[in-house]
Amino acid sequence: MLNNKKRVFWEALLLTLLIFLIGMLIGVLSENSRMRSVEEYYIQSEISLIDILTLSNLANLDDANCDNLINSNINFANRIYDEAKLLEKYEQAGKINENIKIEHKKYDVMRTLLWINTMRFSEVCKNNKVHIIVYLYESNTKDLTKKATNTVWSKIINDLKERQGNEIILIPIAVDSDLISLNSVLENFNISSYPALIIDDKYVLEELSSVEEIEEFF
């Protein structure tokens, strides 16, 4: 009788472990599936970026090639912006697998490269009328003020993009990914705190600004 009573504790434990393991397995499979879809998007984006870099490395960039280059950059930036939003949602939902953070870092490298490339074509393509908006933020901050500021900046640049459409190239980059290339570029701008917005590689906004206030810089 006593053994039967003790047995039920062990049975409950076994059942608990079984359900828990099934749940964790479902979680791992689900997060891995999301990671794979992000990796596939990344590979596609990587190919597009190499294509753009190849184009921008042409010796003589005439007007036609400039137009091609600018449009390619706009389309590419739009695409990775949407992929970044998806990645952010997957990151928030990811509780077991930390590898998605590596995908985030890979996208940050890609965006840094995109930014450097836009700086280059801005110098070379004199007729360029597209504005470059770089949004720099800390993705791993625990500071509530910074998190709230990040949230509002995201909405502002989203609204700006909807209003300006393909007149702007929007490049959000996390500055706490510890990228040497990004840190080197940022040395040229005296940014004391993040988040910050760099407009056309000239103007730096560290305080929250409305869409209209940003448009005044165009």
Partner 1 sequence: MDFITIVFLVYSVLAFYFLFLYILIYFQNRKKVFYTPPITKKYSLSIVVPCYNEEKTIEKVIKNLLKAKYDNLKKIILVDDCSTDNSYKIMKKYAKKYPNKIIAVQTPKNTGKASGAKNYGAKFVNTELIGFTDADSYPQRDAINYMIGFFDDKKIGAVTANVLVQNRDKFILKLQSLEYKVIKFTRKLLEFIDSIYVTPGPLAIYRKSAFDNVKGFDEKNLAEDIEITWHLQYEGYKIKMAVPSRVYSVAPSTIKDWVKQRNRWNIGGLQCVNKYKKVFGKKGTLGNFIVPLFISQWIIGLFGLFILGYKIIRTIILKYLSVSYSVQTQTTILNMKDINFTVSVLVFFGLVVFLLSSFYTIFILLNVKEKQYKKENFFTLIFYMIFYLLAYPIILLISFIKYLKGDIKW
Contact present, 80 and 114 (Cβ < 8 Å): yes
Pick the binder of partner 1 from 43, 44, 63, 155 (CB under 8 A).
155
Residue 167's nearest CA partner among 117, 128, 114, 115 is 128
Q: Which residue number, 30 or 128, has a Cβ lying nearer to partner 1?
A: 30
Q: Which residue number, 60 or 92, has a Cβ lying nearer to partner 1?
A: 92
Q: What is the total count of residues that contact partner 1 (CB under 8 A)?
A: 44
Q: Which residue number, 28 or 58, has a Cβ lying nearer to partner 1?
A: 28
Q: Which residue number, 12 or 47, has a Cβ lying nearer to partner 1?
A: 12
Of 7-15, 72-80, 110-118, 190-198, the segment contacting partner 1 by CB under 8 A is 7-15
Our finding on whether 185 is near partner 1 (CB under 8 A) is no
Our finding on whether 4 is near partner 1 (CB under 8 A) is yes
Our finding on whether 156 is near partner 1 (CB under 8 A) is yes
Near partner 1 in 188-217, by CB under 8 A: 208-212
Pick the binder of partner 1 from 3, 9, 129, 180 (CB under 8 A).
9
Contact present, 134 and 150 (Cβ < 8 Å): no
Compute CA 128 distance to the chain's CA centroid, rounded to the nearest angstrom. Answer: 25
Q: What is the CB neighbour count within 10 angstroms for residue 90?
A: 18
Pick the binder of partner 1 from 26, 47, 50, 58 (CB under 8 A).
26
Residue 116's nearest CA partner among 44, 171, 192 is 171
Burial of 133 (0-12, 13-18, 19+ CB in 10 A): buried
Q: Kindly state the tokens that stand for 203.
A: 């103007």
Peptide bond between residue 195 and the one before it cis (omega within 30 degrees of 0): yes
Q: Cα–Cα distance between 60 and 168 in angstroms, integer?
A: 24
Virtual CA dihedral for 62, 63, 64, 70, nearest 10 degrees?
110
Within 8 A by CB and 6+ apart from 195, the residues are 135, 136, 137, 138, 146, 149, 150, 153, 206
Pick the binder of partner 1 from 79, 158, 200, 217 (CB under 8 A).
158
Output the smallest distance, CB 112 to partner 1, in A.
25
Site string for partner 1, 88-117 (x = CB under 8 A): -xx-xxxxx-x-------------------
Contacts with partner 1, residue ranges (CB under 8 A)? 4-5, 8-9, 11-13, 15-16, 19-20, 23-24, 26-28, 30-31, 34, 85, 89-90, 92-96, 98, 144-145, 147-149, 151-152, 155-156, 158-159, 208-212
